[in-house]
């Protein structure tokens, strides 16, 4: 388990993580199917949790990429503005 998986499965519930609850309980919460059913289908439950984790990481990646592009655009516009101002005064 890598660091991001650990945070996802053991991080605080108020931030969208699972707070270390048992995997069958997490699957039950996702699907609204009783935990007893998931305890008999552990492999399917683990697959469901990994798909949920991967979807979460895609969202994190999109947000991170968006912030990066925004900051890069901001930086480039600032550079362009200062070059334009510098040319006017030289």
Kindly report, residue by residue over 5-31, the tens digit of the pLDDT: 999 999 999 988 999 999 999 999 999
**DSSP string computed for 31-78:** H---HHHHHT-HHHHHHHHHHHHHHHHHHHHHHHHHHHHHHHHHHHHH
Domain regions of the chain by residue span: 3-89
Under 8 Å between Cβ of 29 and 23: no
Neighbours of 59 (CB within 10 A): 11
pLDDT in tens, 64-89: 999 999 999 999 998 888 777 666 66
């Amino acid at each position: 388990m890598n660091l991001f998986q650990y945070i996802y499965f053991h991080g605080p519930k108020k931030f969208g993580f699972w707070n270390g609850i048992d995997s069958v309980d997490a699957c039950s919460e996702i699907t609204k199917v009783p935990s007893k059913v998931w305890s008999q289908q552990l492999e399917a439950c683990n697959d469901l949790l990994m798909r949920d984790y991967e979807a979460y990481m895609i969202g994190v990646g999109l947000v991170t990429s968006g912030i990066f592009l925004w900051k890069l655009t901001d930086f480039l516009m600032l550079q362009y503005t200062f070059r334009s101002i510098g040319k006017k005064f030289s």
